[in-house]
């Protein structure tokens, strides 16, 4: 009898060892009904979302079996009895176990035996391997053969301004803090929750007064149309019932495990067999081919097989992480500081502004012209869907409460724009002048990947009607004293003055540009020369210009 039971168990085990959830025929003694175990889980991580151990039990020939039970054994000790009940005649009984014992404690990773037994039938024993699967970090990389992924930058740290580039070695990190035992589990054994996207645009994730260094999920920046590549690193420790760090329980002898990435219910990538603490490189689906912000949910699923030629079968459950991708026009252009800083500036906030403006304007910027249009209309605001100028600023003129067109954010001596202060709810005040606008526009467009953006300095101007940023209407009396001109003006070009852009003011396109009221004419890549050009519509005099170098920022 003992020998027969062992043979039956072995048969059940062999059947289960093929496709891990295949039907397992069980030979029974002639005189007794036999049990069939279908859809048997062999490798399981009950801590995954939707995870657990599943099997289906029925008697053959169809017979009512009273008082059956499922026991989990570690060696010869019963450590859990997740199910007991009757098996009805002619119908399979599905059993799902959540991996916990009678006290609700998670069972440790390791090898177990599942025993299904009842009086009058032969006991069935099946192998079970509890493992702990999870991702501790993700490093988003360039697509193969490209340079198209870039760290993003935050600009605030508590009450101060500090630039913080998102870590290149892992933009997603989810590991134990000091005092915690394992990277995949909390100290009570519960699974460590996934990290939501960090949605603040000014400050990175903080842990007290310092940057968080164990748990974050930062947004990502790619050139439009890129297919992100991600290197995931698998967790290497779990937490036991006894409250100590233990192995994740794999590799399982005779079994391989791999990771799959699913996006929108489609599998997009599968890894090679994985190891705890090891890595896998996966290529994801292409991002939009225009400036955008998108939230992509990736469902991470694991599969197992019992040999190289065996088919892969799903391990129950999954983990879902969401990632925020900004797509840029091209490689960002940062002005190096004296010691070579590249990753500087309130970049996340700029990306957020620009993508929000594009959405409000119904634009899909995929080239410099459309991106500049998005920037100019969004920055100036006071248009459909964008009621105010960037951070609520207004032109520095006496009639608006300011003074004489003074710069508050741009420094001509350091040749830098204090974009951080401006984007911190205009901390330097609501008034701006043309140099402030030039500094913000050149640096913001450059960050988004527009090339060759440069300041264009104009000489003195006797102005026609203009509508200043943040002003209620057109004016021919800018300073309120009958004076209506500039000692100089700063605008922007990306094609060496063939066309120009200006977020500081709008020109009048109603046919009488010297008189109010006016019809707004956006200055995004407006021709410099010619009828209707910037020089024609802005001033009565012949305005001279010279090109200058891209400012730095802080």
Partner 1 sequence: MRNSPLVSKALLGLALMAGRAAAQTAAEQQSSLAAEHFRQVRELYNQRAWASSQARAGFPWLEFAPSGWQGEAERTDGGLLTRHFKRLEPAQSPRSFWIELHVAQTSAKAQETLIGWLAGVSRPQALPSTSSWQLDVGDVGFVGPSGAGDKAIAWLGFVRGNIALRLVATDPTREPTLEIGGLAREFDQAIRSQRILADGEQAPTNQIELFSASKVDAIAGERIPLSLLFAPSMSAARHFDWTVGGTGQGYVEQDSSGRYVLHTTGPGKIELAVAVTGALGWTSTRSLEVLVSDD
Give me 507's structure tokens: 């020109």
Does the footprint of partner 1 cover residue 323 (CB under 8 A)?
A: no
Size of the site for partner 1 (CB under 8 A): 84
- Does residue 487 touch partner 1 according to CB under 8 A? yes
The least CB distance from residue 550 to partner 1, in Å, is 10
275 is a site residue for partner 1 (CB under 8 A): no
CB atoms within 10 A of CB 11: 15
Binding mask 94-133 for partner 1 (x = CB under 8 A): ----------------------------------------
The contact pattern for partner 1, residues 20-59, with x = CB under 8 A and - = no contact, is ----------------------------------------
- In the range 338-367, which residues lie near partner 1 by CB under 8 A? 338-343
Q: Give the span between the Cα atoms of 411 and 423, in whole angstroms.
A: 16
Angle at the Cα of 86 from the Cα atoms of 81 and 88, rounded to 5 degrees: 140
Kindly give, in sequence order, each residue whose CB lies less than 8 Å from that of residue 448, ignoring residues fewer than 6 positions away. Answer: 291, 328, 329, 332, 350, 351, 354, 371, 375
Collect all residues with Cβ–Cβ distance below 8 Å to 163 and sequence separation of at least 6.
Answer: 153, 154, 155, 341, 343, 344, 345
Strands of 53-60's sheet in order across: 34-38, 53-60, 93-97
337 binds partner 1 (CB under 8 A): yes
Site residues (CB under 8 A) for partner 1, limited to 226-265: 231
User: What's the closest the beta carbon of residue 364 comes to partner 1, in angstroms?
Assistant: 24
Q: How far is the CB of 399 from partner 1 (least distance, A)?
A: 6
Q: Which residues contact 236 (CB under 8 A, 6 or more apart)?
A: 136, 183, 184, 248, 276, 277
**In the complex, least distance from residue 40 CB atom to partner 1, rounded to whole angstroms:** 40
Give the span between the Cα atoms of 409 and 427, in whole angstroms.
10
Binders of partner 1 in range 454-483 (CB under 8 A): 457-460, 479-480, 483
What is the H or E stretch that residue 5 is in? Answer: helix 2-17
- In the region spanning residues 402 to 441, those forming contacts with partner 1, defined by CB under 8 A, are 402-408, 410-416, 418, 421, 427-431, 433-435
Cα–Cα distance for residue pair 227/380, rounded to 1 Å: 33
Give least dist CB 529 to partner 1, A: 17
Contacts of 410 (CB under 8 A, 6+ apart): 416, 417, 418, 433, 435, 436, 438, 439, 551
Could you say which residues in the range 140-199 bind partner 1, by CB under 8 A?
Answer: 140-142, 147-151, 159-165, 167-169, 171
Q: Locate tokens 């960002």: which residue?
A: 332
Quick one: which segment of 32-40, 106-114, 335-343, 440-448 binds partner 1 (CB under 8 A)? Answer: 335-343
List the strands of the sheet with 135-141, edge to edge.
Answer: 215-217, 172-174, 135-141, 229-234, 279-283
Please, which of residues 200-229 interact with partner 1 by CB under 8 A?
Answer: 210-211, 213
Of the pair 107, 400, the CB lying nearest partner 1 is at 400
Q: Identify residues 381-400 at the interface with partner 1 (CB under 8 A).
A: 396-400
Quote the least distance from Cβ 418 to partner 1, whole Å: 8
First to last CA, the chain: 82
To the nearest whole angstrom, how small is the minimum distance from the Cβ of residue 324 to partner 1? 15
* Nearer to partner 1 (CB atom), residue 160 or residue 309: 160
Residues 440-459 that bind partner 1 (CB under 8 A): 457-459
| CB closer to partner 1, 17 vs 390 | 390
Q: Please identify, using beta-carbon distances, which residue of 38 and 149 lies nearer to partner 1.
A: 149
In the complex, what is the shortest distance from the CB of residue 248 to partner 1, in angstroms, rounded to a whole number? 21
Identify which of 403, 412, 436, 447 has the alpha carbon closest to the alpha carbon of residue 504.
436
> Is 542 a residue that touches partner 1 (CB under 8 A)?
no
CB of 224 to partner 1, least distance (A): 15
| Residue 489 within binding range of partner 1, rule CB under 8 A | yes
Which string of b and e fits 473-485 if b means at least 16 CB within 10 Å?
ebbeebeeeeebe
Q: Which two tokens stand for residue 532?
A: 């209707």
Helix axes 434-447, 368-380, angle to 10 degrees: 140
């Amino acid at each position: 009898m003992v020998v027969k039971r062992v043979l039956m168990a072995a048969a059940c085990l062999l059947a289960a060892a093929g496709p891990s959830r295949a039907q397992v025929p069980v030979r029974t003694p002639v005189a007794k009904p036999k049990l069939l175990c279908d859809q048997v889980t062999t490798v399981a991580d009950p801590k995954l979302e939707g995870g657990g151990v599943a099997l289906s039990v029925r008697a053959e020939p169809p017979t009512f079996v009273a008082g059956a039970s499922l026991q989990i054994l570690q060696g010869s000790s019963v450590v859990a009895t997740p199910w007991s009940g009757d098996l009805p005649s002619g119908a399979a009984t599905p059993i799902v176990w959540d991996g916990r014992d009678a006290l609700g404690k998670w069972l440790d990773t390791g090898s177990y035996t599942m025993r299904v037994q009842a009086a009058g039938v032969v006991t069935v024993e099946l192998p079970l391997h509890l493992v702990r699967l999870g991702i501790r970090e993700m490093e988003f990389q360039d697509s193969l053969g490209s340079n198209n992924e870039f760290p993003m930058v935050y600009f605030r740290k508590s009450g101060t301004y500090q630039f913080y580039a998102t870590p290149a070695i892992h933009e997603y990190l989810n590991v134990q803090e000091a005092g915690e035992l394992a990277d995949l589990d909390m100290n009570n054994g519960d699974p460590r929750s996934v990290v939501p996207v960090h949605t603040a645009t000014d400050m990175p994730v903080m842990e007290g007064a310092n940057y968080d260094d164990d748990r974050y999920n930062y947004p990502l920046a790619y050139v439009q149309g890129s297919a992100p590549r991600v290197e995931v690193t698998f967790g290497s420790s779990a937490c036991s019932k006894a409250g100590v760090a233990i192995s994740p329980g794999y590799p399982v002898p005779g079994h391989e495990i791999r990771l799959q990435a699913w996006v929108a219910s489609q599998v997009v990538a599968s890894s090679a067999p994985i190891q705890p603490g090891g890595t896998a490189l996966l290529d994801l689906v292409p991002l939009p081919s225009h400036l955008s912000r998108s939230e992509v949910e990736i469902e991470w699923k694991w599969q197992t097989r019992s040999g190289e030629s065996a088919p892969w079968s799903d391990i129950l459950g999954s983990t879902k992480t969401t990632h925020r991708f900004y797509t840029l026009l091209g490689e960002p252009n940062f002005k190096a500081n004296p010691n070579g800083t590249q990753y500087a500036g309130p970049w996340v906030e700029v990306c957020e502004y620009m993508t929000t403006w594009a959405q409000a304007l119904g634009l899909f910027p995929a080239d410099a012209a459309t991106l500049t249009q998005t920037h100019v209309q969004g920055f100036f605001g006071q248009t459909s869907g964008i009621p105010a100028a960037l951070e609520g600023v207004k032109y520095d003129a006496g009639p608006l409460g300011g003074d004489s067109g003074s710069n508050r954010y741009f420094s001509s001596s350091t040749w830098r724009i204090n974009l951080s202060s401006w984007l911190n709810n205009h901390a330097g005040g609501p008034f701006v002048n043309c140099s402030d606008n030039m500094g913000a526009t050149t640096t913001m467009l450059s960050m988004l990947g527009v090339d060759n953006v440069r300041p264009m300095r104009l000489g003195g101007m006797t102005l026609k009607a203009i509508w200043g940023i943040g002003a209620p209407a057109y004016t021919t009396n800018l300073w309120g004293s009958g004076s209506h001109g500039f000692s100089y003006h700063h605008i922007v070009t990306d094609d060496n003055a063939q066309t120009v852009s200006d977020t500081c003011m709008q020109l009048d396109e109603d046919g009488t540009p010297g008189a109010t009221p006016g019809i707004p004419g956006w200055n995004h890549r407006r021709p410099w020369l010619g009828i209707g050009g910037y020089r024609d519509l802005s001033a009565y005099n012949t305005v001279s210009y010279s090109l200058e170098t891209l400012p730095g920022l802080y």
